[in-house]
Every structure is written in structure tokens, then in C-alpha cells.
Amino acid sequence: MLLVTSATQIHHLMQVAAIENLEDNIRSGLRCTVIASIGPIASQALESCGLATDLVPRHPKMGQLVFEAAQKAMALLQQKRRRIEPEVNAGG
């Protein structure tokens, strides 16, 4: 699970990935990872990098993000795996 607390966090992640020529690997790995965003600005940063947000807490606070992520992580991961499994089996 990746907890995103700021747009800057995502920009830095992708900047380092680009320097190391790992952008495709990062995107591929995160496609199979539950991504929780603290709020709309962080979610927009994810979207601009081609990454989907799986969870945004009811209130944009760190404690609420961690609490909801802990509660929902397993179910979200199972949903995500079911969604991407047909793509992987089809070679996409």
C-alpha cells in the first residue's frame, strides 16, 4: 500500500524514477498496489502520472488516512487484483 500525503511526494517519486530509468517499473508495480491519497491535490498528481487513487479519506487528515487505509486495505487489494488479473492473463 502506498499512502500519498502530498503532490510533491508523487512528483519526487516520479522524478527519481525517471533519473533511474524506472518509470515504467514504478507504474507497473503501483498498478498492482493499493494507493491511498490524502486529498484531491495529491489525487490529481497521481492522475497526472497515470496512477489511479483507490482511497481518499472522508477528511483530509493524516490520522483519518491511516485509519481508513488500515480498515479498507485488504478489501481494496482483493478488488484490484480481481480487476487486473484478466488483463495480465490476456497479456495486457
Question: Full-prediction pTM beyond 0.75?
Answer: yes
Give me the amino acid identity at 40: P
Residues 67-77 have pLDDT tens digits of 999 999 999 99
Q: Which domain holds residue 58?
A: 2-89
CA-based nearest residue to 50, from 74, 25, 34, 27 = 27
- The yes-or-no verdict on residue 33 having pLDDT over 90 is yes
CA-based nearest residue to 41, from 68, 11, 64 = 11
- The yes-or-no verdict on residue 90 having pLDDT over 90 is no
Q: How many domains does the chain have?
A: 1
Tell the residue number behind the cell numbers 488500515, with chain if given: 70
Which pLDDT belongs to residue 72?
Answer: 96
Residues 38-80 have pLDDT tens digits of 999 999 999 999 999 999 999 999 999 999 999 999 999 999 8
